[in-house]
């Protein structure tokens, strides 16, 4: 019976600030409280996981995903509230515990697996399987110093997933490595999911989370924004952001911008209404960007809508200023200004 419950947990980092404003919210990261000298990375988090739960953690960079995993692993004891876990825990974060560049792959398997809580006998039984899975071949007896970044990741993944814990915590380790290894890793994950009783995985990829998890938490600035099935979660979140941004809410506009750029970076299709709000935010920051102006016009038109006449006219004038030869803009402007 594995169980993991987080009860009103806060994670607050002490910082020594040389100077700073009051409780400002930066674009990413937690809230900075200069008066108390703390950065609130997680704020009043509560949820409970039981056998069979597959939790996905979503959120932009600095939303608190990794901190949340470390909180669950017991590495960060909450500054307020508490975390209670029943069952053995294994983690795969960006750094593998005990890994040394001077040791060979084989030696590091022993060191890391011992750190992760495996017994020597168990490691001896599994070492060939780990080497085989990591696809290191003859490199296994060479120092890790000369490994490529992908090889180190594969080694770490192979060791961490050999532990077979009751609670497994993963931090987007699947994204690294080539497509072939990513597929293999996903297959291994599915086997592990079947065996371990609780899985928590932090990732930017909605598709990965939608495929693996039955529950998702969306984090922003160290708070849980929403809680539900993966696929639905982002849609509802986007809808609320777009609605608030349409009402000219500054924070929502900024969120729309972050969502848009994140999706663009990952090469996902961006919903037009979201892109529109993201562009509006971007144009507030740099009002002279002709490419963005043009894109905003296109995005609005593609939705079969029109901007308020005054705003559209301003955009068209600015565009014509740069490209006087655009007759379509001139014609549209004439329509708008009788």
Among 43, 57, 76, 230, binds another protein (CB under 8 A): 76
Q: Provide the 10 A C-beta neighbour count for residue 33.
A: 17
Cα separation, 126 vs 117, whole angstroms: 14
Cα separation, 58 vs 226, whole angstroms: 10
Helix crossing, 120-134 with 149-162: angle to 10°?
140
CA nearest to 60, candidates 211, 251, 261: 261
CB of 52 to another protein, least distance (A): 17
Which CB sits closer to another protein, 106 or 184? Answer: 106
CB of 165 to another protein, least distance (A): 9
CB of 235 to another protein, least distance (A): 34
Q: Does residue 84 belong to the site contacting another protein (CB under 8 A)?
A: yes
Q: Does residue 95 belong to the site contacting another protein (CB under 8 A)?
A: yes
Q: Does residue 124 belong to the site contacting another protein (CB under 8 A)?
A: no
42-50, 117-125, 202-210, 320-328 -> range binding another protein (CB under 8 A): 117-125
The residue count for binding another protein (CB under 8 A) is 41
Q: Does residue 162 belong to the site contacting another protein (CB under 8 A)?
A: no
CB of 172 to another protein, least distance (A): 15
Q: Are strands 215-220 and 223-228 parallel, antiparallel or unpaired?
A: antiparallel
Structure tokens at 173: 């380790």
Helix crossing, 272-285 with 230-246: angle to 10°?
50
Which CB sits closer to another protein, 113 or 208? Answer: 113
Cα separation, 153 vs 18, whole angstroms: 38
Q: Does residue 70 belong to the site contacting another protein (CB under 8 A)?
A: yes
Cα separation, 69 vs 165, whole angstroms: 15
Sequence-distant (≥ 6) Cβ neighbours of residue 146 within 8 angstroms: 139
Question: Facing residues of 11 across strands?
Answer: 42
CB of 127 to another protein, least distance (A): 14
Which CB sits closer to another protein, 169 or 256? Answer: 169
Return the residues of window 247-276 that contact another protein according to CB under 8 A.
none
Which CB sits closer to another protein, 156 or 278? Answer: 156
Helix (H, G, I), strand (E, B) or coil at 215: strand
Q: Are 159 and 113 in contact (CB under 8 A)?
A: yes
Q: Does residue 233 belong to the site contacting another protein (CB under 8 A)?
A: no
Q: Does residue 1 belong to the site contacting another protein (CB under 8 A)?
A: yes
72-80, 131-139, 267-275, 299-307 -> range binding another protein (CB under 8 A): 72-80
DSSP-derived letter for residue 104 is B
Helix crossing, 250-265 with 272-285: angle to 10°?
110
83-91, 265-273, 285-293, 306-314 -> range binding another protein (CB under 8 A): 83-91
Return the residues of window 12-51 that contact another protein according to CB under 8 A.
13-14
Q: Which residues bind another protein (CB under 8 A)?
A: 1, 3, 13-14, 70, 73-79, 82-89, 91, 93, 95-100, 102-103, 107, 110-111, 114-117, 119-120, 143, 166
């Amino acid at each position: 019976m594995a169980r993991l419950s987080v009860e009103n947990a806060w994670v607050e980092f002490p910082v020594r600030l040389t100077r700073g404003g009051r409780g400002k919210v930066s674009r990413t990261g937690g809230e900075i409280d200069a008066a108390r000298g703390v950065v609130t990375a997680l704020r009043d988090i509560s949820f409970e996981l039981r056998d069979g739960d597959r939790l996905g953690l979503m959120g932009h960079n600095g939303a608190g995903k990794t901190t949340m995993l470390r909180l669950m692993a017991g590495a960060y004891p909450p500054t307020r509230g508490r975390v209670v876990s029943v069952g053995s825990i294994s983690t795969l974060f960006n750094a593998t515990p005990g890994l040394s560049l001077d040791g060979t792959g084989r030696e590091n398997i022993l060191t890391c697996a011992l750190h992760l809580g495996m017994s020597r006998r168990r490691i001896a039984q599994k070492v060939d399987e780990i080497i085989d899975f990591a696809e290191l071949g003859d490199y296994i007896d060479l120092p890790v110093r000369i490994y490529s970044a992908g090889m180190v990741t594969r080694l770490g993944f192979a060791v961490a997933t050999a532990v077979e814990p009751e609670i497994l915590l993963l931090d987007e380790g699947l994204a690294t490595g080539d497509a072939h290894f990513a597929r293999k890793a996903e297959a291994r994950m599915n086997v592990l999911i079947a065996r371990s009783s609780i899985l928590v995985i932090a990732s930017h990829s909605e598709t990965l989370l939608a495929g693996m998890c039955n529950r998702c938490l969306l984090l922003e600035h160290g708070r849980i924004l929403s809680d539900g099935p993966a696929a639905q979660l982002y849609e509802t979140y986007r809808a609320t952001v777009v609605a608030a941004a349409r009402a000219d809410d500054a924070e929502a506009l900024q969120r729309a911008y972050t969502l848009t750029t994140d999706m663009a970076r990952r090469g996902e299709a961006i919903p037009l209404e979201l892109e529109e709000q993201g562009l509006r935010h971007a144009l507030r920051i740099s009002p002279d960007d002709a490419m963005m102006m043009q894109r905003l016009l296109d995005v609005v038109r593609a939705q079969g809508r029109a901007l308020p006449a005054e705003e559209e006219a301003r955009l068209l004038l600015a565009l014509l200023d740069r490209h006087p030869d655009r007759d379509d803009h001139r014609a549209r402007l004439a329509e708008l200004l009788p």
